[in-house]
Amino acid sequence: MLGVQGQVEMIELFSTTLIHGDRSRVVIPNRRIVGEILQNYGHIRQLDLTVGVAYDSDLTETIAIVRDVLGQNSRVMKDPAAAVGVTMLADSSINIAIKPWTTVADSGPARAELYQAIVERFRERHISIPFPQREVRMLDNNPSSWK
């Protein structure tokens, strides 16, 4: 639906009013939402975080650190349990998906707190978060052909 999110404050005959996460009001004409798919988040939300680590990282230790960070954060719900695991073998990193549950109100602050805590713990344990790199090779060493 138009890429708009918020908590429904009021449904009237011609419009629906939402309260956005930044506390602004969003008024949507009902004719714009008739026939659209609406997602009701309810009271909890699963965050979708990803962190990439170097290919030489100890994945067992890395995932244990992430789980410990989740367990120490008061905004992360214990039930349902968070999902944590390798999600992709990317060009420059092994990507780890981190999917904890929070209340809707805690979802924004929890995201920031978790990313910060993960970076700090990875630095303490010397777990590298690589940046994307490309290697370029020159196959023809003849400068006269570089036109």
Q: How does pLDDT run across 50-90, given as a tens digit for each residue? A: 999 999 999 999 999 999 999 999 999 999 999 999 999 99
Q: Taking phi first (over 0 means left), then psi (-120 to 50 degrees means alpha), and beta for anything else, what does residue 109 get?
A: alpha
Query: Model confidence over 98-147: pLDDT tens digits?
Result: 999 999 889 999 999 999 999 999 999 999 999 877 778 877 767 666 55
Burial of 131 (0-12, 13-18, 19+ CB in 10 A): exposed
Cα 56 to chain centroid, rounded: 23
**Domains of the chain: which residue ranges?**
1-40, 44-124
Quote the CA–CA distance of 79 and 110 in Å, as a whole number: 16
**CATH number 3.30.70.1710 is the correct assignment for the domain at 44-124:** no
